[in-house]
Amino acid sequence: MSLFPGGGVALGKLGLTEEDIMDEIESGKRDLVKELVAMSSREQIQAIRVLPMCLEDKKHIRSQVHDSKLSKHGLQLTCFTDCSEQVSRSFRRCGANVVSARQAMKLWQGTMKEVGGKFGTSVLSYFIFLKWLLMFNVFSFLINFGFVTVPQLIQPPNKTAAVGFRGLELLTGAGYFNQTVLYYGGYSNGTIGNEPVYDMQLAYFFTIAAYLVLCAVSLIYSVARSFQKNFVLSTTGSAWRLLCSWDFSITSEKAIRQRKNNLRVQLKESLSERSQRAHISTSAKLKQFGIHLGTWLISTALALASCAAIYYLGLYNLEVIKDSQDSISLLTEASTLLLPFVVSLINLIIPLLYSLINKTEKYSNPRTQIYVIILRNVFLKMGILGILCYYWMYNVPTTISCWESFIGQDLYRLVIIDFIFSMLESFFGEFLHNVIGTRCLPSLGVPEFDIARNVLDLIYAQTLAWIGIYFSPLLPLIQMIKLFLMFYLKKVSLNQNCQPPRRSGRAAQMQTIFIALLFFPSFVGALSMVAYTVWSLKPSEHCGPFQGLNITFEAVALWMDRQGSVSESMWPVWIYNNVIKSELFFYLISLIILVLIFFFWQITQGRKLLITLLREQIVNEGKDKAFLLDKLQKLQKEKQTTASSQRPYRQIPQSFDRRQEIEPDYDQDFEDLPGRPLPEEDTGPVGPPFTSALIQAMMARRQAEEEEEEGY
């Protein structure tokens, strides 16, 4: 689509009549209409919407397009075109109604607007991330409930000695809940129904597998899209800060004042950065390196120490539980809460230590500081989860009889205690900090909403939920409730206690990093653990849908054998035998993917080279443009002086200024800036000659055409 030079040109400056300009613009519009008519309806609408014109012009163009379309089809049956127009219009209206209905059902729309208005886009990104995770859990709960739990509820398995409901179950998840459909142990390995036989084993396996595959696809897609949008040629420097980073959606006066202050501080910093960069001596560099090394050693040591502590605590826990399997007393049950309590305590305290350590280090780039903190926290959390998985995979199955349910209970406890600790963290971290900061120690200040820490907490919680899907199919319900409550909790805490963030950080890049973290250590880790359980561990003998098999995957193998013997549908069996079981297939696929990656990498290298070349070309084109316009004006000036009597309507002022810059009136007050051209500018150094290169070129073309006509 062509951009019209219409908009801001002060025609009066150039002294041209409106006629010439309007003629050119009209012919431009006619070309535009021709282009639009050639498109399909939907493309037309999209193209009209993105035209950079005012609404009236757009409506005018739209009606012209309609008229010319009608006239084009004038020969055909007008009744038919009328009908088809009506039908397509009613379809569009239907589509628009569906979109608006979906929008009305969007959760928390008003709250998000409020938060975005007061705190800006980066804090809002936390809430958007929370909502996205909630959707994952809702989907998981619905399919687990629909395909696995409901059939089981129709035909419940035989329960052994049920324990009565004591209040402690809500925290520990054991006791009364032990034999229910909340855990793996509550599902039978039989079949349900008579004629269309519903095999519980296959249902359990395939539901969970399907959900994990869909999650993987959705996450990979999100990471790729986010990366593509946000990591392309990132900028540094103040140009970006000045012109692109102002957040137009903030509406609260206090927040805006704060932003202005922050921007000023950041600009001042960036100005002084330049001078500071050169002055680092070698001894200072060495010292910094030493400090970095020291802090990394300390943080790694802390992480390893916590992992070891958790592992030994787990072993101790196992000892206590092992002895009293069936008749678990209240005290023993309560002691199972010790492990989650310690885990959450570690998750609370060690990140605080990390940020304290971080304050002693100096980084040249504030972004690097945030990345280092995030990296350390990720190591800590994934280390904890890793050691827990190891403990669950190696120690638990050999010790406890219905070990999948036990792991499910452990996860339930972890999720619940994590939630309680989040509430406490909000209370202490934000509420008390606010109170202390405003009343007792003003130097501490009002707390900011720590986006990185909160998002990492969310990622950790979601990893627990993903690990738990196999062991406790209804865990997503608990996670859903937890996220729902967390939203309101964080919102209230934010409104009461926090101030808008000081650094207008790279919200988009942080989003990409968080989504990538959600995919790479978090989801992949959970998936590998579930995969290991399914492929290598022996399911428990006496409970659950896979009792009696050697490995869980055997259920599928047995099913395939049964299908093969029936020999009604050969292709799934063929696929199973030759594709999934054969290693050759996977080798071939890996090889092909590696080759493709290599090709794409080479293409990106080539494109990078192309970009630098094109940049040079733009600079050269700019110089060419300046040179040509210069020449054009010289020629027109000559023409003016020779033929000034013949063309009274082309009045290019004689006081012709070839300066490339406009020197405006600096004395003018900044407060009342009108958008109009100032009337004084007509007399002085008039007509920035390069204002509308297009206008100049049009004039030259018109002149050339007229000369041609005269020449005949």
Partner 1 sequence: MGNKQTIFTAQQLDAYQDCTFFTRKEIIRLFHRYRDLAPQLIPLDYTSGPDVKVPYELIGSMPELKENPFRQRIAEVFSEDGEGNMTLDDFLDMFSVLSEMAPKDLKAYYAFKIYDFNNDDYICKSDLEKTLSQLTRSELSEDESRLVCEKVIDEADLDNDGRLSLDDFQHMIGRAPDFLSTFHIRI
Query: Of the candidates 192, 256, 342, 527, which one interacts with partner 1 according to CB under 8 A?
Result: 256
Contact 637, 703 (CB under 8 A): no
Is 623 a residue that touches partner 1 (CB under 8 A)? Answer: yes
Stretch that binds partner 1, among 315-323, 430-438, 529-537, 673-681 (CB under 8 A): 673-681
- Rounded to 5 degrees, φ, ψ at 215 are -60, -45
Query: DSSP 3-state assignment of 191?
Result: strand
Nearer to partner 1, 97 or 590 (CB): 97
Contact 402, 177 (CB under 8 A): no
Say if residue 463 is exposed, middle or buried (CB neighbours under 10 Å; 0-12, 13-18, 19+).
Answer: buried
CA distances from 429 to 378, 491, 659 (A): 20, 14, 59
Contact 441, 215 (CB under 8 A): no
**Six token digits for residue 659:** 């300066």
> Where in 638-667 is the site for partner 1 (CB under 8 A)?
660-662, 664, 666
Query: Of the candidates 72, 93, 362, 634, which one interacts with partner 1 according to CB under 8 A?
Result: 93
- Rounded to 5 degrees, φ, ψ at 476 are -55, -30
Is 54 a residue that touches partner 1 (CB under 8 A)? Answer: yes
Nearer to partner 1, 495 or 620 (CB): 620
Residue/partner pairs of 289-296 with CB below 8 Å, 24 or more apart: 291/360, 291/361, 291/362, 292/361, 295/357, 295/358, 295/360, 295/361
**Six token digits for residue 34:** 């021709």
Nearer to partner 1, 100 or 276 (CB): 100
Query: Of the candidates 144, 497, 692, 696, which one interacts with partner 1 according to CB under 8 A?
Result: 692
Is 258 a residue that touches partner 1 (CB under 8 A)? Answer: no
Q: What angle do CA 167, 180, 397 make, to 5 degrees?
A: 100
Nearer to partner 1, 206 or 656 (CB): 656
Nearer to partner 1, 648 or 674 (CB): 674
- How far apart CA 449 and CA 498 sit, in angstroms, is 6
Nearer to partner 1, 103 or 567 (CB): 103
Is 260 a residue that touches partner 1 (CB under 8 A)? Answer: yes
Nearer to partner 1, 253 or 709 (CB): 253
Other beta carbons within 10 angstroms of residue 64's beta carbon come to: 16
> Where in 421-450 is the site for partner 1 (CB under 8 A)?
none
Query: Of the candidates 30, 106, 285, 625, which one interacts with partner 1 according to CB under 8 A?
Result: 625
**Six token digits for residue 523:** 């989801």
The CB-of-324 to partner 1 minimum distance in angstroms stands at 56
Is 38 a residue that touches partner 1 (CB under 8 A)? Answer: no
> Where in 192-231 is the site for partner 1 (CB under 8 A)?
229-231
Binding-residue pattern over the window 236 to 255 for partner 1, x denoting contact by CB under 8 A: -xxxx-xxxxxxxxxxxx--
Query: Of the candidates 14, 121, 133, 373, which one interacts with partner 1 according to CB under 8 A?
Result: 121
Nearer to partner 1, 216 or 508 (CB): 508
Is 345 a residue that touches partner 1 (CB under 8 A)? Answer: no
Is 596 a residue that touches partner 1 (CB under 8 A)? Answer: no
Contact 415, 465 (CB under 8 A): yes
Stretch that binds partner 1, among 136-144, 323-331, 416-424, 622-630 (CB under 8 A): 622-630
Stretch that binds partner 1, among 159-167, 388-396, 476-484, 675-683 (CB under 8 A): 675-683
Nearest to 317 by CA among 301, 333, 329: 333
The CB-of-606 to partner 1 minimum distance in angstroms stands at 20
The CB-of-88 to partner 1 minimum distance in angstroms stands at 11
Binding-residue pattern over the window 270 to 289 for partner 1, x denoting contact by CB under 8 A: xx------------------
> Where in 453-512 is the site for partner 1 (CB under 8 A)?
506-509
Nearest to 380 by CA among 413, 354, 360: 354
Residues present in the chain in total: 712
**Six token digits for residue 138:** 């809702």
Is 232 a residue that touches partner 1 (CB under 8 A)? Answer: yes
Is 637 a residue that touches partner 1 (CB under 8 A)? Answer: no
Beta bridge partners of 150: none
Is 36 a residue that touches partner 1 (CB under 8 A)? Answer: no
Contact 200, 151 (CB under 8 A): yes
Beta bridge partners of 199: 191
**Six token digits for residue 711:** 């020449």
Secondary structure (DSSP) of 49-81:
HT-SS-HHHHHHHHHHHHHHHHHHGGGS-HHHH
Query: Of the candidates 15, 28, 117, 437, which one interacts with partner 1 according to CB under 8 A?
Result: 117
Stretch that binds partner 1, among 90-98, 343-351, 444-452, 641-649 (CB under 8 A): 90-98
> Where in 602-621 is the site for partner 1 (CB under 8 A)?
615, 618-619, 621
Stretch that binds partner 1, among 95-103, 307-315, 322-330, 397-405 (CB under 8 A): 95-103
Nearer to partner 1, 409 or 696 (CB): 696
If binding means CB under 8 A, how many residues of this protein chain bind partner 1? 93
Nearer to partner 1, 247 or 430 (CB): 247
What single letter denotes the amino acid at residue 250? I
Nearest to 458 by CA among 31, 126, 681, 694: 126
Is 675 a residue that touches partner 1 (CB under 8 A)? Answer: yes
Beta bridge partners of 198: 192
Nearer to partner 1, 317 or 511 (CB): 511
Exposure string for 341-358, b = 16+ CB within 10 A, e = fewer = bbbbebbbebbeebeebb
